[in-house]
Amino acid sequence: MASLDITHRARILCIFFLIVFVLLLLRLGQLQVVEGEKYRQLSEGNRIDYRPILASRGRIWVDDGQDKVIAVSNKMAYTASLIPANVRGRPLLDVVNQVAAILNLNPDTVMNRISQSSRTQPVHIKRNLSPQELLALEERIGELPGLIIEKTPIRDYVYSDVAAHVLGYVGEISRQELNLYFAQGYRSGDFLGKAGLEKYYEYFLKGDDGLRQIEVNSQGLEVATLGIQPPTQGADLYLTLDISLQKAVEWYLKDQVEGLYMRAQDDPEMLGGPTGGAAVVLEVETGQVLAMASYPSFDLNLFAGGISQENLRLLQQNRFQPFLHRTIQVTPPPGSVFKVMVGTAVLEELNFDPGKTIFSCSGEFQLGSQVWKCWEEDGHGELNFYQALAHSCNVAFYNMGQMLHHIGGESIQRIAREFGFSYMTGIDLPGEKEGLIPDRQWKGEHVMEAWFPGDTINMSIGQGSLQVTPLQLANMINAIANGGVLLQPYIVEKVVCSEGEVLLENYPRVLHKPDISSYALEEIKKAMKDVTAYGTGAGPFWNFPIKVAGKTGTAQTVPGSPSHGWFVGYAPAEDPEIAFVVFIEHGNASRYALPVAEGILRAYFGLEEGRTRIDGEQGDSN
């Protein structure tokens, strides 16, 4: 009986183990066959990772007179990044503090950046590492889990500070920008255009990032590359800028402003001297921007890998405002340059012979109890229209303003708007201002007063509440030069993707054809030739190899502050190729703008040296 019990028990145990074995086989089969793909993917997720490959931005090309050359490109630089999920064995804050100390960064800024990013993807801590920073990190990388050092593309601005305001710069995306562009694939730590063409054409310049599939070990360190999806470089911009002319314009502008500033330190009457300047050169027939300069400038390469807080602070606190793009973002009064518009209105509205002597200047003009002075204290004597504009006689234009006021309407404002004032030109740059042409409605709404005859008198010499940008003045003079067509200025000729396809092409575009007679246009052009023949612009141009038409302007500012200096013109006068403007901010008088204009023309037409220095005008100042 005992042996039967043992046999029975053994049989039960065998059956039990057989059942367990079958169950294990069934479970193994389920794991391998039914759920095998699921667990294979889970396993792969633990050993495979994906790292983005940053795309290079599109290049920017300029004209050098013979061909197109690169002005903005890309170069590879070392970037320190941190993958938060791979920080094991140490608190994340400890690692961040150590990395921040090596790179001289604020750890709170780094932690804030990490908090906005994915824990499994690299968070860029600092781009463009110096050799010293790179060596310090590599020496300690074993004690800094999650830290990776990789090569990434950064901007390379070939000409450093040339055309800085036009080209613009890149910077790290802000939280506000990230909220705006997240749906377009931007991530925290990405760089994007912050100013100039870099910003305006960001959509085209930004490339598409690639991906690298890598194998990592249990510590998250890379073991091998398993696959690559290459990035796509951004599209290239081809500009209308002539880089040789651009360099010359910037040099002449800088030389004059700095020379005047140094001179002003010994001359109290100059009230401290200039604070900056601007110049624009347009191709008359197309509206293409051949050169556009704003002074002071700054080094674009400071921004290529992320500008330091110290350098940014120095630029932002500079009282001469190097970030300010003075060709499109300042709106000073035009001064006597605006007499071109007033003269055009007179020719359109009043029936008189411009060659007949009808003005008499004794040095002052009286309206009621108020007396306005001419810039020439002793007066200009008897004048016809051509002479009035050539000598920029204030009294003659006070009379013109009074005559226009008496016939009613707002003919000066109408003519000014016909030539684009109070409207943005639409140039392909961000931040352009529209200026102001004040009228009865504007004054009633903003000053709560009626429009008086004195307002028209002030406007007749380009003062009062008038606000214009240098580009608007250049575009106005360009429309006169080309026979009465207001064109939209543009800088980018075409946009070409990395495969060679033209994505965008700009052509000359007519904004408006001013409603003025050919008679008025031709007469104002005659008077502008006289300005450089014997008038206020004759200093450097009376015997210049190429005939120039133009107009000087000295614009008063607030009491105790120097006036602005202007000169606008086009050349050759009989068959214009270029139109231009020169603006010396707080430059004291228009005569100081003339040497810059002379230098621009010598550079464009390839004339020998011999430019007038500092003083360009012989005694005249309006």
| DSSP characters over 354-421 | TTS--EEESSEEEETTEEEE-SSTT--EEE-HHHHHHTT-HHHHHHHHHHHHHT-S-HHHHHHHHTTT
Q: How far apart are CA 460 and CA 607, in angstroms?
A: 36
Residues 60 and 179 reside in one and the same domain: yes
CA 181 to chain centre: 20
Give 34's pLDDT tier (boundaries 50, 70, 90).
low
Q: What is the pLDDT of residues 193-216, one digit of tens each?
A: 999 999 999 999 999 999 888 887
pLDDT value, residue 457:
96
Q: What is the pLDDT of residues 87-146, one digit of tens each?
A: 888 899 999 999 999 999 999 988 988 888 888 788 889 999 999 999 999 998 888 998
Q: How far apart are CA 527 and CA 535, in angstroms?
A: 10
What is the DSSP pairing of strand 123-126 with strand 147-157?
unpaired
Of 161, 160, 108, 151, give the one whose Cα is nearest residue 129.
151
Question: Could you tell me which residues come within 8 angstroms of residue 398 by beta carbon, excluding any fewer than 6 positions away?
Answer: 365, 367, 372, 457, 460, 461
Residues 418 and 538 reside in one and the same domain: yes
pLDDT value, residue 347:
97
Residues 210 and 295 reside in one and the same domain: no
Residues 361 and 507 reside in one and the same domain: yes
Residue 610 lies in a domain: no
Residues 266 and 400 reside in one and the same domain: yes
Residue 415 lies in a domain: yes
Mean pLDDT for 40-51 is: 61
In order of 15, 17, 36, 307, the CA distances from 23 in angstroms are 12, 10, 17, 65
Single residue among 234, 268, 302 that ends a domain in this structure: 234
Residue 19 lies in a domain: no
Residues 481 and 541 reside in one and the same domain: yes
Residue linked to tokens 């170069």: 75
Average predicted confidence (pLDDT) for the chain: 91
Q: How far apart are CA 460 and CA 466, in angstroms?
A: 10
Single residue among 234, 264, 280 that ends a domain in this structure: 234
Q: What is the pLDDT of residues 295-336, one digit of tens each?
A: 999 999 999 989 988 999 999 999 999 999 999 999 999 999
Residues 202 and 345 reside in one and the same domain: no
Read off φ and ψ for residue 450, nearest 5 degrees: -75, 165
Residues 181 and 294 reside in one and the same domain: no
Q: How far apart are CA 19 and CA 260, in angstroms?
A: 102
**Which helix H or strand E contains 126, and what residues bound it?**
strand 123-126
Task: Name the residue range of residue 145's domain.
Answer: 50-216+228-234
Instruction: Report how many domains make up the chain.
Output: 2
Residues 422 and 277 reside in one and the same domain: yes
pLDDT value, residue 618:
44
Residue 494 lies in a domain: yes
Alpha-carbon Rg for the chain in angstroms: 35
Residues 203 and 265 reside in one and the same domain: no
Read off φ and ψ for residue 527, nearest 5 degrees: -65, -35
- ∠ CA 611-616-618, rounded to 5°: 130
CB atoms closer than 10 angstroms to residue 171: 18
Residues 488 and 450 reside in one and the same domain: yes
Q: What is the pLDDT of residues 560-593, one digit of tens each?
A: 899 999 999 999 999 999 999 999 999 999 999 9
Q: What is the pLDDT of residues 499-524, one digit of tens each?
A: 999 999 999 999 999 999 999 999 99
Higher per-residue pLDDT: 613 or 363: 363
Give 484's pLDDT tier (boundaries 50, 70, 90).
very high
Residue 371 lies in a domain: yes
Residue 297: both structure tokens together: 């400038």
Mean pLDDT for 390-413 is: 95
Residue 542 lies in a domain: yes
Q: Is the pLDDT of residue 616 over 80?
A: no
Of 277, 249, 51, 33, give the one whose Cα is nearest residue 152.
51
pLDDT value, residue 220:
61
Q: What is the pLDDT of residues 416-462, one digit of tens each?
A: 999 999 999 999 999 999 999 999 999 999 999 999 999 999 999 99
Residue 38 lies in a domain: no
User: What is the amino acid identity at position 107?
Assistant: P
Residues 459 and 383 reside in one and the same domain: yes
pLDDT value, residue 134:
94
Are 534 and 620 within 8 A, CB to CB? no
Give 8's pLDDT tier (boundaries 50, 70, 90).
low
Q: What is the pLDDT of residues 246-289, one digit of tens each?
A: 999 999 999 999 999 999 999 998 889 999 999 999 999 999 99
Q: Is the pLDDT of residue 43 over 60?
A: no
Q: What is the pLDDT of residues 330-343, one digit of tens each?
A: 999 999 999 999 99
Mean pLDDT for 46-59 is: 84
Angle between helices 470-481 and 339-349 (to 10 degrees): 40
pTM here? Answer: 0.89
Residue 9 lies in a domain: no
In order of 573, 574, 621, the CA distances from 394 in angstroms are 25, 27, 12
CATH number, residue 559: 3.40.710.10
Q: DSSP per residue over 263-298, as a string?
A: HHTT-GGGTT---EEEEEEEETTT-BEEEEEEES--
CATH number, residue 88: 3.90.1310.10
pLDDT value, residue 404:
95
Share of the chain above pLDDT 70, in %: 92
pLDDT value, residue 53:
87
pLDDT value, residue 45:
47
